[in-house]
């Protein structure tokens, strides 16, 4: 391989942040700034949040984590994961690709999901997010981040832990000591290994944080130069001490050597092997080898690992895909020899390139598929001669589906609305990986003697959450769509439910297909039958004839003929008995509230006592509306939740909130309720679109999403706008409830400092009160040249929509909207 920069030094030199939320890069600040932020290596911990303010993921310096106590940290309870690590199964006979191997090389993924500081604990109202969906190929995930100017020790978000654990993937936080040129200070390393008698206080806090928050270990990256042999020895001692006291795991990065110098070995050598195995002492659980590995280096690494009594698969040979993604040159045959056992495991650095380089969500999903399962988007049809075949060509799938009940709604953990039981209960974008279902094991394997149908994650409709599975295409032969590898025993009362939606009443042409462990590649089919209408319909299939057998695969079989087949699957469930209604939570309490707009909107911190019984998948939070409906405010598996925005409806004096438990079979409890009081008089007028949920037809770049058009700012540079290149160009904002509107203000390209030739020329504004209503045009403009336009109206609406028909004064096809304001009371 060509010479690569060391791990975090390479990250430090990356300057562009393409995400809507800046990535947690290791971009240290200059030494002077670091010193002013963290005098004497002991910067203050993140300031205690106000009672109702946004909680954030935790980060520390060595001298601040020793003082951390979850009992006094107001954000701590919002950062807890409640999803235990699931066991996984992987049958070699069921691997999608015959070249892929089970039980050999594994994959560790080093991912930045957000910034080190100001990283929301429980998701946000922004649908543009790295909603990773290929967990079946990953063994460990490192929550990447840390910087000299913010904090060196970073705990993962609970949303990421929840999603990873649900898929059987371990999660590590990061400990980062940067090079001196990028703010690193050797004193921080010395602070990290400080002792109190026989104890290492920082290590004790690493264990406490992992246990309290619910994650599995720490990635240690020590790249600060100037150390000596004694300091290197103390780092080993700290890890050995920790492992003797707890089950906390460590992954060590190949940087510091036993001499104390930072000298990347690009292999396991005598200079770094004690950080993996020190005689009879297990120092770390794995090692991430720097990127410049070679065939001879990996061969000697394997030999040395075995001599130390360790597996070569405890070594993760790194590849850096931050800059070029699947265009990165990799010597695959050295790592995964053709026809032979894997040499080591694989360490991926920054696979979220697929999201950061994407122009929109569809582009991200296409790039992520190319990265993980190859250019064909099918792990069974990988071209191993390609420069980037797809990781599924080497590492076989694993599945966490080993116990009942198993339910999936094909929720991707992000969306543009939220549905519950097929009903729309919230509009507007969101991300929350705590709600992500286990993605299909096989994305996508379709067997057919004729045309293959196209499976996709559909964000236009859902039974539960923000997405569903959609099958489309020409149906001219039987299609078998393999979905999940499982190990589910069938009992006398086991049922398989499918919730589906068809464009018209009539035969679905669909059959459930299950294979059993005694014949894992032979499917037994059960006809789903017909739909009576065009809404979501549940078909409950009896599996009792197969009692005593174990389901190895779940698939869908589509038979018949249709030139334009179109079917949505909103839920697949395998369970015993009946859908279970859980006990209700209790003690719903408002921990605190903070005004967003005094008298009109606020953010809230809520807590409750978990429902007894242990059968709860998650809790959903709602507000009650005057017309008897409810609006979804968010959900979590935790017993505490942050509501980012609660709007006052008119002049109401109080708003009732409900929290209900949703069982693992998706039955619903009675609600726990509380009331939020309002004081003062709502503002007579204001920009009602400010920071409201916004969706759009697309976006030009990952950081130019719809939220930028309602953030109240035009001064953030050229990226402080909504931009789209789609053929139909529209931006929609949900005002939360029906409002009386007096004017719209649109700030075009020159309002944000761009050329006036980019100002929108022709556009209209549409409104409606409900999603079932038709749009009514209240503003129509042609021939505009101004940078800011104001449009008086006298109308009422909850949903407002800007439609751009000619985006610029020239032939440039991009619409550029810096702000879309809806003024009223």
Q: Are 525 and 557 in contact (CB under 8 A)?
A: yes
Angle at which helices 229-245 and 201-213 cross, to 10°: 40
Q: Report angle CA 527, 528, 532 to the nearest 5 degrees.
A: 140
Predicted pLDDT of residue 57? 97
Predicted pLDDT of residue 50? 57
Q: Which residues contact 773 (CB under 8 A, 6 or more apart)?
A: none
Question: Residue holding tokens 């770094």?
Answer: 272
Predicted pLDDT of residue 240? 98
Residues of the chain below pLDDT 70: 1-50
The DSSP letter of residue 89 is B
- First and final CA of the chain: distance in angstroms? 63
Q: Is 745 exposed, middle or buried (0-12, 13-18, 19+ CB in 10 A)?
A: middle
SS (H, E, C) 497-518: EEEEECCCCEECCEEEEEEECC
Strand, helix or coil at 211? helix
Q: Report angle CA 528, 534, 535 to the nearest 5 degrees.
A: 85
How far apart (Å, rounded) are the C-alpha atoms in residues 303 and 566?
54
The DSSP letter of residue 285 is S
Strand, helix or coil at 183? coil
Predicted pLDDT of residue 7? 55
SS (H, E, C) 232-277: HHHHHHHHHHHHHHCCCEEEEECCECCCCCECCCCCCCCCCHHHCE
Q: Which of 695, 685, 696, 701 is closest to 745 using CA atoms?
A: 685
| pLDDT 10s digits, 258-293 | 999 999 999 999 999 999 999 999 999 999 999 999
| pLDDT 10s digits, 624-676 | 998 889 999 999 999 999 999 999 988 899 999 999 999 999 999 999 999 99
């Amino acid at each position: 391989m060509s010479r690569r920069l060391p791990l975090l030094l390479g990250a430090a030199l990356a300057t562009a942040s393409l995400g809507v939320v800046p990535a947690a890069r290791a971009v240290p600040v200059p030494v002077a700034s670091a010193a002013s932020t963290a005098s004497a290596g002991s910067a203050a911990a993140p300031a205690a949040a106000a009672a109702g303010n946004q909680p954030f993921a935790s980060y520390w310096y060595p001298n601040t984590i020793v003082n951390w106590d979850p009992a006094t940290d107001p954000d701590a309870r919002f950062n807890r994961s409640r999803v235990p690590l699931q066991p996984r199964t992987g049958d070699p006979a069921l691997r999608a690709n015959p070249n892929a191997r089970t039980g050999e090389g594994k994959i560790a993924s080093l991912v930045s999901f957000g910034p080190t500081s100001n990283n929301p604990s429980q998701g946000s109202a922004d649908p543009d997010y790295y909603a990773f969906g290929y967990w079946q190929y990953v063994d460990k995930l490192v929550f990447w981040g840390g910087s000299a100017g913010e904090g060196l020790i970073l705990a993962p978000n609970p949303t990421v832990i929840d999603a990873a654990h649900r898929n059987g993937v371990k999660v590590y936080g990061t400990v980062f000591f940067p090079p001196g040129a990028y703010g690193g200070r050797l004193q921080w390393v010395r602070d990290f290994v400080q002792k109190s008698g026989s104890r290492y206080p920082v290590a004790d806090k690493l264990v406490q944080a992992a246990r309290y928050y619910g994650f599995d270990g720490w990635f240690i990256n020590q790249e600060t130069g100037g150390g000596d042999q004694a300091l290197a020895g103390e780092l080993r001692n700290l890890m050995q001490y920790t492992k003797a006291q707890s089950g906390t795991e460590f992954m060590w990065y190949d940087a510091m050597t036993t001499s104390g110098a930072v000298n990347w070995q690009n292999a396991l050598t005598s200079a770094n092997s004690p950080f993996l195995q020190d005689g009879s002492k297990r120092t770390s659980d794995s090692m991430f080898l720097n990127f410049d590995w070679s065939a001879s280096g990996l061969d000697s690494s394997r030999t040395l690992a075995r001599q130390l009594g360790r597996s070569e698969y405890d070594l993760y040979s790194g590849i850096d895909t931050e800059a070029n993604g699947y265009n990165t040159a990799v010597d695959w045959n050295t790592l995964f020899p053709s026809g032979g056992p894997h040499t080591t495991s694989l360490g991926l650095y920054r696979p979220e390139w697929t999201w950061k380089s994407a122009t929109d969500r569809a582009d991200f999903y296409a790039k992520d598929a190319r990265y993980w399962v190859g250019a064909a988007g099918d792990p069974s049809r990988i071209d191993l001669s390609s420069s980037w075949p797809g990781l599924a060509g080497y590492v076989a799938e694993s599945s966490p589906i080993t116990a009942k009940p198993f339910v999936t709604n094909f929720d991707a953990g992000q969306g543009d609305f939220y549905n519950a039981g097929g009903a729309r209960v919230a509009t507007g974008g969101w991300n929350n990986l705590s709600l992500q279902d286990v993605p299909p094991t096989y994305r996508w394997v379709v067997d057919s003697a004729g045309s293959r149908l196209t499976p996709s994650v559909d964000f236009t409709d859902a039974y539960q959450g923000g997405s569903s599975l959609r099958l489309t295409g020409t149906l001219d032969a039987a299609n078998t769509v393999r979905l999940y590898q499982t190990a589910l025993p069938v009992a006398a009362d086991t049922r398989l439910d499918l919730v589906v939606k068809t464009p018209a009443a009539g035969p679905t042409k669909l059959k459930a297909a299950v294979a059993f462990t005694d014949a894992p590649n032979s499917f037994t089919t059960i006809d789903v039958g017909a739909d009576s209408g065009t809404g979501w319909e549940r078909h409950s299939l009896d599996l009792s004839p197969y009692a005593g057998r174990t389901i190895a695969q779940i698939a869908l079989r589509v038979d018949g003929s249709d030139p334009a087949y179109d079917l949505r699957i909103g839920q697949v469930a395998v369970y015993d008995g009946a859908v279970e209604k859980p006990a209700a939570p209790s003690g719903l309490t408002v921990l605190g509230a903070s005004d967003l707009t005094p008298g009109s909107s606020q953010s809230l911190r809520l807590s409750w006592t978990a429902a007894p019984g242990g059968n709860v998948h998650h809790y959903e939070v709602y507000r009650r509306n005057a017309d008897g409906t409810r609006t979804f405010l968010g959900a979590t598996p935790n017993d505490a939740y942050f509501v980012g925005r609660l709007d006052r409806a008119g002049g109401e004096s109080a708003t009732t909130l409900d929290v209900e438990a949703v069982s693992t079979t998706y039955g619903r409890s009675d609600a726990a309720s509380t009331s939020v009081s309002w004081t003062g008089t709502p503002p007579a007028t204001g920009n009602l679109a400010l920071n409201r949920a916004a969706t759009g037809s697309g976006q030009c770049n990952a950081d130019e999403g719809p939220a930028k058009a309602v953030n109240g700012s035009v001064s953030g540079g050229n990226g402080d706008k909504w931009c789209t290149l789609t053929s139909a160009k529209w931006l929609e904002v949900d005002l939360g409830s029906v409002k009386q509107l007096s004017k719209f203000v649109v700030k075009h390209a020159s309002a944000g400092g761009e050329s006036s030739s980019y100002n929108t020329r022709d556009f209209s504004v549409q409104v409606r009160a409900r999603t079932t209503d038709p749009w009514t045009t209240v503003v129509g403009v042609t021939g505009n040249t101004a940078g800011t336009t104001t449009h008086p109206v006298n109308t009422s609406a909850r949903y407002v929509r800007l439609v751009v028909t000619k985006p610029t004064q020239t032939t440039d096809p991009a619409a550029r909207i810096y702000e879309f304001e809806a003024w009223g009371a």
